[in-house]
């Protein structure tokens, strides 16, 4: 088993996931990027890409087994992979529903179910679920996306209570609009000017802050909004 801390991040090839990967690498972690696309590599031997499709359980199982066999530990799991479908409900299809829930909810659940086993054996670990303000609100043409993020909130809050006695922290992060290829449109207070958006680095900094709290402290929910939405 490695003496270095290990962070597994789904969807770390771009956006919030990649920003998290950079910060955790800078802190000396081994970072495992679990994503479908091949990322532009970091100049670090501690960055490992394991091709993973979180909508497929067998792919997640292979990820878990490779991490366990190579490193023997997982200190941080960041469930970041996700995407959005924004349509009027009457225009959506059952395929839309199945596809977005397969990634945003089912994939998060399966990743967590596997890696929490390792954390329970270690009697330590931190799980960060990237949700959204859409998990606390609703917005026009957001029925599918908001539904998935409400589910992430419920899973996170229930799991937090379930594992607190095992030295495992569960943290849910709820960003507003973020300047990424897929930006979150759930914060109705902001306009559509990217200059007002949060950055991926803002979200990553909040994740690292929560992880680096003293072990007896838990920041179980983080809301992040643009500080000046009308500038």
Q: Annotated active-site positions, please? A: 145
Beta partners for residue 175, in sequence order: 224
Q: Residue 131: which of 171, 180, 181 has the closest Cα? A: 171
Neighbours of 107 (CB within 10 A): 25
| DSSP symbols for 198-229 | B-HHHHHHHHHHHHTS-TT----EEEE--S-T
**Cβ 80 vs Cβ 130: under 8 Å:** yes
Report CA torsion sign: 107, 63, 161, 174: negative
Report CA torsion sign: 51, 130, 40, 64: negative
Q: Which residue has the tokens 């990967």?
A: 21
HEC secondary structure over 126-179: EEEEECCHHHCCCCCCCHHHHHHHHHHHHHHHHHHHHHHHHCEEEEEEEECCEC
């Amino acid at each position: 088993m490695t003496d270095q801390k290990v962070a597994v991040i789904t969807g770390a090839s771009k956006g919030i996931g990649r920003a998290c990967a950079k910060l955790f690498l800078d802190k000396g972690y081994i970072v495992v990027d679990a994503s479908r696309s091949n990322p532009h590599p970091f100049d670090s031997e501690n960055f490992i890409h394991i091709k993973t499709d979180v909508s497929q359980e067998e792919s997640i199982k292979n990820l878990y087994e490779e991490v366990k066999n190579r490193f023997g530990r997982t200190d941080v799991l960041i469930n970041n992979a996700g995407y959005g479908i924004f349509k009027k409900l009457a225009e959506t299809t059952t395929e839309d529903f199945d596809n977005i829930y397969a990634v945003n909810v089912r994939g998060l659940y399966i990743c967590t179910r596997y890696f929490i086993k390792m954390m329970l054996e270690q009697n330590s670990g931190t799980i960060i679920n990237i949700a959204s303000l859409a998990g606390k609100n609703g917005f026009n043409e957001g029925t599918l996306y908001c539904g998935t993020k409400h589910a992430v909130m419920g899973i996170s809050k229930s799991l937090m209570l379930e594992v607190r006695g095992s030295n495992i922290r569960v943290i849910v992060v709820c960003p507003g609009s973020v300047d990424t290829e897929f930006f979150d449109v759930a914060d109705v207070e902001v306009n559509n000017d990217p200059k007002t958006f949060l950055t991926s680095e803002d979200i990553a900094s909040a994740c690292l802050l929560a992880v680096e709290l003293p072990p007896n402290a838990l920041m179980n929910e983080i809301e992040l909004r643009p500080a000046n939405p009308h500038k």
